[in-house]
Amino acid sequence: EPAGDGDGARPRPPISFELFPPRTDAAAIALGRTIDRLAEADPAFISVTFGAGGSSRDRSLTVLRYMLEHTDVEPMAHLTCVGSSHAEANRLVREFLDAGVTSFLALRGDPPVGAGPEAGIGDLESAAELVQLIHRVQEEREPYGQVGIPGIPGATRILERPRPERVAVAAFPTGHPRSRGAGQDVDVLLAKEVAGANLAITQLFWHADDYLGFVERARAGGVTIPILPGIMPVTTPARLARLEQLTGVPAPSELAIALEIEPDADAQFDLGVDFAADLAGEVLAGGAPGLHLYTFNRHEAVLAVLDLLGLRTIPAHAGTERNTRER
Ligand code: FAD
């Protein structure tokens, strides 16, 4: 029986998912179906990654628009600022706001591979500056202000600006690859909170203590915003190795070995899902405010994780009420 149903049980912790923009038409169609399935789990938001330098801008927007038009899920746009001028970053934020997206994950992003340490950094040097810019653009936006009240000649009222729902930022429980030490990772996160971030989402980690220890250090360092643990069920040895390359976070040897010696794909799937569900259960028990699940654009593994944790919202069937046991 899922946790959180009736009887004064604790409400389900918020669940969110992360996707990347598809590169082909076929992948785009498959992603639409994935989004529909993920939406049935009633996530707090689904975030869509953004290629540093803007390479995926249009494809990211297409996915976000799909969510706005076909689901009632809150879309969150990752945005990067590395290599952009102030004017370009301004235009980018406006474009996403104009599309109806009001939640962002503000990132610095990485300079192109092969670029020198200072090459292509542009005007904005850190995610904190992008956080400030998002708030500023939001505040300057037209056309909010006084509007007439229909049916009452001469009467007006003030239309409130839609505030950014969430301005999230990245956090690195096991340290950013370029970090000079654990203290710096907390300082950088605090700087982003001071700039206006209201949520942090972590990089992958493989041991609950990495996350829980980081949260403890962040709280001691003055960070107060929620820090959502980012968790990914990894169901093939090749993907686990690739993630280590991409994130710089060493893969857990017990999972790596288990995946390597298991020949059967279904059994590999179960290994990855079990590992992620155990990790998620441990961080939730340790006080995590929710779960952010990296999907790799597939719904099966993340929904299986939620099933194991008893956190899946049962999809509504034709003609029945939508299941609304959240919050
Ligand atoms: P920042 O927080 O600006 O930090 C970047 C570096 O600068 C760090 O090394 C930090 O130590 C240092 N630094 C920053 N401010 C200070 C300061 N005041 N004093 C000293 N040092 C400082 N990348 C993409 O391209 N697209 C994505 O969609 C994307 N999504 C991501 C989602 C999540 C949840 C995470 C964890 C990462 C994601 N990334 C993405 C990767 C991210 O862009 C890189 O990790 C990048 O190197 C750092 O971005 P940041 O936002 O953490 O930068």
pLDDT at 83 over 70: yes
What pLDDT, on a 0 to 100 scale, did the predictor assign at position 11? 83
Give Cβ neighbours of residue 232 (< 8 Å, ≥ 6 apart): 204, 243, 276, 293, 294, 295, 296
For CA atoms 252, 312, 49, 282, the dihedral sign is: negative
Q: Which residues of 65-84 are buried (b: 16+ CB within 10 A; e: fewer)?
A: ebbeeebebbbbbbbbbbbb
Considering only residues 152 and 241, tell me which one the structure prediction assigns the higher pLDDT.
241
* Average pLDDT of span 148-155: 81
Cα distance between residue 113 and residue 55, in whole Å: 14
Tokens of residue 65, six digits: 């628009």
Decide whether any atom of ligand 1 lies within 6 Å of the 108 Cβ.
Answer: yes
Phi/psi at 98 (nearest 5 deg)? -60, -30
Of all residues in the chain, the percent with pLDDT exceeding 90 is 72
For CA atoms 192, 196, 202, 207, the dihedral sign is: positive
What pLDDT, on a 0 to 100 scale, did the predictor assign at position 141? 74
Decide whether any atom of ligand 1 lies within 6 Å of the 184 Cβ.
Answer: yes
Dump the DSSP string for 166-229.
Answer: EEEEEE-TT--TT-S-HHHHHHHHHHHHHTT--EEEEPP-SSHHHHHHHHHHHHHTT--S-EEP
Q: 1, 18, 165, 216: which is the annotated catalytic residue?
A: 18
Band (2; pLDDT cuts 50, 70, 90): very low
- The residue to mutate among 18, 105, 188, 295, having the most atoms of ligand 1 within 8 angstroms of its beta carbon, is 188
What pLDDT, on a 0 to 100 scale, did the predictor assign at position 138? 85
Three-state SS string over 104-147 comes to EEEECCCCCCCCCCCCCCCCCCCHHHHHHHHHHHHHHCCCCCEE
Tokens of residue 249, six digits: 């976070």
Ligand 1 centre from 189 Cα, in Å? 10
- β-partners of residue 156 are 148
pLDDT at 327 over 50: no
* Average pLDDT of span 26-47: 95
Distances (CA, A) of 158 to 93, 148, 152, 203: 24, 9, 15, 41
- β-partners of residue 147 are 157
**pLDDT tens digits along 109-139:** 987 766 655 555 678 889 999 999 999 998 8
Give Cβ neighbours of residue 221 (< 8 Å, ≥ 6 apart): 183, 186, 187, 189, 190
* Average pLDDT of span 258-278: 97
- The residue to mutate among 124, 166, 176, having the most atoms of ligand 1 within 8 angstroms of its beta carbon, is 176
Q: Where are the alpha helices (DSSP H) in 248-285?
A: 253-261, 265-285
Decide whether any atom of ligand 1 lies within 6 Å of the 78 Cβ.
Answer: yes
pTM: 0.89
Tokens of residue 157, six digits: 């009222």
Considering only residues 115 and 150, tell me which one the structure prediction assigns the higher pLDDT.
150
160 catalytic, yes or no? Answer: no
Q: Using the 8-state DSSP alphabet, how is residue 6 labeled?
A: S
Cα distance between residue 161 and residue 170, in whole Å: 26
ipTM for the predicted complex: 0.92
* Mean pLDDT rounded to a whole number for the chain: 88
What pLDDT, on a 0 to 100 scale, did the predictor assign at position 325? 38
Q: At what angle do helices 265-285 and 300-309 cross, to 10 degrees?
A: 50
Decide whether any atom of ligand 1 lies within 6 Å of the 179 Cβ.
Answer: yes
What pLDDT, on a 0 to 100 scale, did the predictor assign at position 177? 87
Q: 74 by DSSP, 3-state: which?
A: coil
* Amino acid sitting at position 258: A
Decide whether any atom of ligand 1 lies within 6 Å of the 56 Cβ.
Answer: no
**pLDDT tens digits along 195-251:** 999 999 999 999 999 999 999 999 999 999 999 999 999 999 999 999 999 999 999
pLDDT at 159 over 70: no
Cα distance between residue 93 and residue 103, in whole Å: 11
What pLDDT, on a 0 to 100 scale, did the predictor assign at position 118? 56
**pLDDT tens digits along 98-116:** 899 999 999 999 877 666 5
Report whether 93 contacts 164 (CB < 8 A).
Answer: no
Band (7; pLDDT cuts 50, 70, 90): low
What pLDDT, on a 0 to 100 scale, did the predictor assign at position 315? 58
